[in-house]
Amino acid sequence: MENTIAAISTSTGNGGIGIIRLSGKNTFNIIEKIFRPKNKSNEIKGYSIKYGNIINPKNNEIIDEVLVSYFVSPKSYTTEDMCEINSHGGMIVEKRILEICLENGAELASPGEFTKRAFLNGRIDLSQAESIIDLINSKSEMEAKESINQLEGYLSTKIKEIEQEMLDIMVNIEVTIDYPEYDVEEVTNVEALEHLKKIKGLLEKLEGSFEKGKILRNGIKTVILGKPNAGKSSLLNLMLKEDRAIVSDIEGTTRDSIEEYININGIALKLIDTAGIRETDNVIEKLGIEKSMKLADSADLIIAIFDNSRELDENDRKILDFIKDKKAIIILNKVDINLNNEYNEKEISNLCKPTIKLSAKFGNGLDELYEEILKLFQFNEISNNNELLITNERHKTQIRKAKENIEKAMETIESLMPVDIISIHIKEALSDLGEITGENVSQNIIDEIFSKFCLGK
Ligand code: GDP
H/E segment holding residue 314: helix 314-323
User: Could you tell me the CATH number of the domain that includes residue 406?
Assistant: 1.20.120.430
CB contact set of 299 (below 8 Å; sequence gap of 6+): 221, 222, 223, 272
Q: Residue 191 above 70 pLDDT?
A: yes
CA of 273 to the centre of ligand 1 (A): 14
Residue 282's pLDDT is 55
Do the strands 5-8 and 107-108 form a parallel or antiparallel pair, or are they unpaired? parallel
Half-sphere exposure of 337 (CA within 13 A, CB side): 11
Question: Worst-scoring range by mean pLDDT, 58-62, 137-141, 158-162?
Answer: 137-141
Whose CA is closest to atom 9 on ligand 1?
A: 231
Domain enclosing residue 242, as ranges: 216-384
Q: How do residues 153-183 score in pLDDT, each as one tens digit?
A: 999 999 999 999 999 998 888 877 777 666 5
CA of 144 to the centre of ligand 1 (A): 36
Asked if residue 341 and residue 264 are part of one domain, the reply reads yes
Question: Worst-scoring range by mean pLDDT, 109-123, 256-270, 441-455?
Answer: 256-270
Residue 171's pLDDT is 87
Q: Does residue 221 sit within a domain?
A: yes
Confidence grade of residue 386 (pLDDT, cut at 50, 70, 90):
low
Question: Worst-scoring range by mean pLDDT, 123-132, 350-359, 382-391?
Answer: 382-391
Give me the mean pLDDT over the 194-218 stretch: 89
Q: Does residue 457 sit within a domain?
A: no
H/E segment holding residue 184: none
Distance, CA of 445 to CA of 80 (rounded, Å)? 23
Asked if residue 366 and residue 230 are part of one domain, the reply reads yes
Q: How do residues 323-345 score in pLDDT, each as one tens digit?
A: 999 999 999 999 998 776 777 88
Q: Does residue 117 sit within a domain?
A: no
Out of 345, 368, 384, pick the residue that ends a domain.
384
CA of 308 to the centre of ligand 1 (A): 11
Residue 182's pLDDT is 62
Q: Residue 437 above 80 pLDDT?
A: yes
Whose CA is closest to atom 18 on ligand 1?
A: 231
φ/ψ of residue 107, rounded to 5: -115, 150
Asked if residue 225 and residue 185 are part of one domain, the reply reads no
Which residue in 427, 429, 416 sits closest to 190, CA to CA? 416
CB contact set of 136 (below 8 Å; sequence gap of 6+): 454, 457
Asked if residue 352 and residue 261 are part of one domain, the reply reads yes
How many CB atoms neighbour CB 25 within 10 A?
13
**Cβ atoms 330, 351 nearer than 8 A:** yes
Q: Residue 87 above 50 pLDDT?
A: yes
Confidence grade of residue 249 (pLDDT, cut at 50, 70, 90):
very low
Asked if residue 29 and residue 147 are part of one domain, the reply reads no
Give me the mean pLDDT over the 435-454 stretch: 88
Asked if residue 248 and residue 176 are part of one domain, the reply reads no
Pocket test for ligand 1, best of 229, 244, 256 (most atoms within 8 A of CB): 229
3-state secondary structure of 75: coil
**Cβ atoms 174, 192 nearer than 8 A:** no
Distance, CA of 192 to CA of 425 (rounded, Å)? 13
Residue 22's pLDDT is 98
User: Could you tell me the CATH number of the domain that includes residue 29?
Assistant: 3.30.1360.120
Give me the mean pLDDT over the 265-284 stretch: 66
Q: Does residue 120 sit within a domain?
A: no
Give me the mean pLDDT over the 271-275 stretch: 72
Q: Does residue 324 sit within a domain?
A: yes
Give the number of domains in the chain.
Answer: 3
Residue 275's pLDDT is 55
**Cβ atoms 348, 373 nearer than 8 A:** no
Asked if residue 243 and residue 222 are part of one domain, the reply reads yes
CA of 309 to the centre of ligand 1 (A): 11
Pocket test for ligand 1, best of 224, 233, 234 (most atoms within 8 A of CB): 234
Q: What does the buried/exposed string (b/e) look like for 247-282 if buried means 16 or more CB atoms within 10 Å of the residue's CB?
A: beeeebbbeeebeeebebebbbbbbbbbbbbbeeee
CA of 363 to the centre of ligand 1 (A): 12
Out of 384, 411, 442, pick the residue that ends a domain.
384
- Top-confidence residue, 214 or 375: 375
Q: CA angle, 84 as apex, 79 and 85 as ends, to 5°?
A: 165
User: Could you tell me the CATH number of the domain that includes residue 233?
Assistant: 3.40.50.300
- The DSSP letter of residue 318 is H
Confidence grade of residue 129 (pLDDT, cut at 50, 70, 90):
very high
Which residue in 84, 89, 102, 34 sits closest to 62, CA to CA? 34
Q: Bridge partners of 88?
A: 17
Residue 184's pLDDT is 59
Pocket test for ligand 1, best of 361, 364, 366, 369 (most atoms within 8 A of CB): 361
Asked if residue 257 and residue 146 are part of one domain, the reply reads no
Distance, CA of 386 to CA of 392 (rounded, Å)? 17
Confidence grade of residue 13 (pLDDT, cut at 50, 70, 90):
confident
**Cβ atoms 304, 321 nearer than 8 A:** no
Asked if residue 375 and residue 246 are part of one domain, the reply reads yes
Asked if residue 231 and residue 197 are part of one domain, the reply reads no
Out of 384, 403, 435, pick the residue that ends a domain.
384
Burial of 213 (0-12, 13-18, 19+ CB in 10 A): buried
Q: Residue 218 above 70 pLDDT?
A: yes
The rounded mean pLDDT for the chain is 87
Q: Does residue 116 sit within a domain?
A: no
Q: Does residue 26 sit within a domain?
A: yes
Of 21-30, 152-161, 217-226, 275-284, give the range with the top mean pLDDT: 21-30
Peptide bond into 74 cis (omega under 30): yes
Asked if residue 297 and residue 352 are part of one domain, the reply reads yes
Question: Worst-scoring range by mean pLDDT, 103-107, 170-174, 281-285, 410-414?
Answer: 281-285
Whose CA is closest to atom 10 on ligand 1?
A: 229
Q: Does residue 119 sit within a domain?
A: no
Share of the chain above pLDDT 90, in %: 53
List all residues whose CB is within 6 A of at least one atom of ligand 1.
226, 228-234, 247-249, 254, 275, 333-334, 336-337, 359-361
Residue 285's pLDDT is 56
Asked if residue 344 and residue 244 are part of one domain, the reply reads yes
For the full predicted model, state whether its pTM sits above 0.85: no
